């Protein structure tokens, strides 16, 4: 099912080195997710030192997230055409070089440009790590355990971001939030060169340039428009303009891929695989769950219960640890149970956990108001995330492992961006109805966010019923 023209089957890892390759993939995933969150705590120090405006400061975060999500499909196809090892090494090099530039930046423009470049590097890395797992672990049980480890690595990165960002900024300097990536990147480049086998022959087919431009620009414009909804109304020109242009470009991308591209960047035939199509829809919805859990729970702890940033990070640590502890055994169960039971159980946890969390208010204690419900939601995330990633990348020809990894990552990132915008609007509406910005009013807004997130659980479960029944491999 791969395109013609000197297609090559990528060589897997050398005998006995599969778990070393998994460690490399997990380390890359850890670094990518860590960098999405570690900067947040350092933002006030960055603003003071470099003289950022409030609007410009947001692009230290948004510049990374925008290019990370927008370039993911292109990064996935690059992994298929240039080889997984080459793409992984290129992503690590770009990510590390951009981190060095960001750490040495003396003006705001340089730091934002470095964050944009970091996002492109991450967009090369993330699909390549999934492709390495897909091609290196062909036995269903081993592949499921590998997905569990990869998912847990992302959880560790997200948890470590808030804690490490505060510790590094307080003990050293905000610059080390970026500079710490440089030695890690050098080590990982060496590990990738030595442990990953390259392709036996490069796939000699041209990149679908029209598809690359329309797909990348469409995703970037859509996500940019959605990001601006936090400061402007959904129907305003700053939001509707780029979002509408992005949708038109994505329609053009679909037409080009379906009718005109000889070797499309995103082969639409992959959506005929039911697991791929349904799995990616579920990942899109799942993005709203993760935003509600980590982002808005942190805001609740700080703005309603009065925690500082470091204490809020510590308050979320039990949930992050629970997610990691659940993800690996859940992935190991996948070959025996199939996707449906794990997804349904996870969605039940979302409904119960967020429903419970929505009852918390100003007078709530941490244990009963936050810890209990977030542990329940974390169990649901641990059950569903590796399961959805495995489903969304299953049954795919090896020559398309990179693009399907890019698609799965794009679905999750786009879902998170859209979910953040929608839930932020819900939070504002709930607080406005409570008339004010007091902790009690903000609690009312967060309660509405958690109720919306609870409703996402049944929706994901209903979509999951479209998955094929369990098939024993």
Same domain, 244 and 218: yes
Residue 27 lies in a domain: yes
pLDDT tens-digit profile of 355-395?
Answer: 999 999 888 889 999 999 999 999 999 898 888 887 777 76
Both 258 and 227 in one domain: the answer is yes
Using DSSP, state whether 46 is helix, strand or coil: helix
> Helices (H), strands (E): how many in the chain?
18, 0
188 domain-assigned: yes
Asked if pLDDT for residue 336 goes beyond 60, the answer is yes
**31 and 178 fall within a common domain:** yes
Specify the CATH number for the domain of residue 158: 1.20.1250.20
pLDDT digits (tens, 9 = 90+) for 123-149: 888 888 877 777 777 676 777 777 777
CB-count burial class (<10 Å; 0-12, 13-18, 19+) for 95? buried
> Last residue of a domain, which of 197, 218, 248?
197
Say yes or no to pLDDT of 6 above 80. no
3-state SS, 328-353, equals HHHHHHHHHHCHHHHHHHHHHHHHHH
Q: Once rounded to an integer, what is the mean pLDDT over residues 177-185?
A: 89
Do 247 and 337 lie in one domain? The reply is no
* Pair (362, 243) in one structural domain: no
Residue 204: how many CB atoms within 10 A of its CB? 10
Give 91: exposed, middle or buried? Use CB within 10 Å, 0-12, 13-18, 19+.
buried
| Residue 10 counted as domain residue | no
Whole-prediction pTM? 0.76
- pLDDT value, residue 195: 75
Q: Considering the domain boundaries, does residue 4 fall inside one?
A: no
Neighbours of 202 (CB within 10 A): 14
79/150 Cα distance (integer angstroms): 18
Q: Looking at the structure, do residues 57 and 181 belong to the same domain, yes or no?
A: yes
For residue 380, give its domain range: 272-467
Inside any domain, residue 324: yes
Q: Is residue 203 part of a domain?
A: no
pLDDT, tens digit, 9 for 90 and up, residues 294-303: 778 877 888 8
Question: What is the band of 11 on the pLDDT scale with cuts at 50, 70, 90?
Answer: very low
Say yes or no: 437 and 390 in one domain: yes
Q: Structurally, how many domains does the chain consist of?
A: 3
Question: In residues, how long is the chain?
Answer: 473
368 and 339 together in one domain: yes
| The predicted structure's pLDDT at residue 309 | 65
Q: Which residue has the tokens 């979320």?
A: 316
Residue 473 lies in a domain: no
Tell whether 87 and 135 lie within a shared domain. Answer: yes
**pLDDT for the residue 472:** 44
Q: Do 304 and 323 lie in a common domain?
A: yes
Choose the final residue of a domain: 264, 287, 304: 264
Tell me the average pLDDT across 335-350: 88
Mean pLDDT across 441-467: 89
Assigned domain for 9 exists: no
48 and 190 share one domain: yes
When mean pLDDT is compared across 10-19, 154-163, 415-424, the lowest value belongs to 10-19
- As a whole-number percent, the residues of the chain with pLDDT over 70 amount to 86
Question: Are 83 and 151 found together in one domain?
Answer: yes
The residue-averaged pLDDT of 323-341 equals: 82
Last residue of a domain, one of 173, 197, 221: 197
């Amino acid at each position: 099912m791969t395109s013609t023209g000197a297609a090559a089957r990528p060589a897997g890892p050398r005998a006995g080195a599969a778990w070393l390759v998994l460690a490399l993939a997990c380390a890359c995933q850890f670094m990518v997710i860590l960098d999405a969150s570690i900067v947040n705590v350092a933002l006030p120090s960055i603003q003071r030192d470099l003289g950022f405006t409030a609007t410009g400061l947001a692009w230290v975060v948004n510049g990374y997230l925008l290019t990370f999500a927008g370039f993911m499909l292109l990064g996935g196809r690059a992994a298929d055409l240039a080889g997984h090892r080459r793409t992984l090494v290129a992503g690590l090099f770009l990510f590390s070089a951009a981190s060095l530039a960001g750490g040495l930046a003396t003006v705001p423009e340089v730091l934002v440009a470095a964050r944009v470049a970091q996002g492109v590097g991450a967009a090369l890395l993330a699909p390549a790590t999934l492709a390495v797992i897909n091609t290196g672990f062909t036995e269903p049980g081993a592949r499921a355990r590998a997905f569990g480890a990869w998912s847990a690595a992302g959880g560790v990165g997200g948890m470590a971001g808030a804690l490490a960002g505060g510790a590094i900024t307080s003990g050293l300097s905000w610059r080390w939030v970026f500079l710490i990536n440089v030695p890690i990147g050098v080590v990982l480049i060496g590990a990738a060169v030595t442990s990953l086998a390259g392709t036996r022959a490069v796939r000699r087919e041209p990149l679908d340039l029209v598809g690359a431009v329309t797909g990348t620009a469409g995703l970037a414009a859509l996500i940019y428009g959605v990001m601006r909804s936090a400061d402007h109304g959904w129907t305003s020109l700053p939001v509707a303009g780029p979002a509408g242009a992005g949708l038109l470009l994505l329609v053009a991308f679909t037409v080009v891929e379906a009718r005109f591209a000889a070797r499309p960047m995103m082969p639409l035939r992959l959506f005929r695989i039911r697991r791929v199509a349904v799995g990616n829809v579920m990942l899109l919805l799942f993005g709203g769950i993760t935003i509600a859990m980590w982002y808005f729970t942190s805001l609740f702890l700080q703005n309603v219960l009065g925690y500082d940033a470091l204490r809020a990070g510590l308050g979320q640590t039990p949930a992050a640890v629970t997610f990691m502890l659940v993800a690996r055994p859940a992935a190991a169960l996948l070959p025996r149970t199939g996707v449906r039971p794990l997804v349904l159980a996870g969605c039940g946890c979302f409904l119960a956990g967020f429903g419970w969390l929505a009852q918390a208010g100003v007078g709530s204690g941490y244990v009963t108001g936050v810890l209990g419900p977030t542990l329940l939601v974390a169990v649901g995330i641990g059950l569903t995330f590796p399961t959805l990633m495995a489903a969304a990348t299953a049954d795919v020809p090896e020559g398309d492992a990179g693009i399907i990894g890019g698609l799965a990552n794009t679905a999750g990132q786009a879902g998170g961006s859209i979910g953040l915008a929608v839930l932020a609007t819900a939070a504002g509406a709930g607080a406005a109805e409570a008339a004010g910005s007091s902790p009690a009013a903000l609690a009312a807004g967060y309660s509405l966010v958690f109720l919306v997130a609870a409703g996402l659980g049944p929706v994901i479960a209903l979509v999951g019923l479209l998955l094929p029944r369990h098939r024993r491999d």
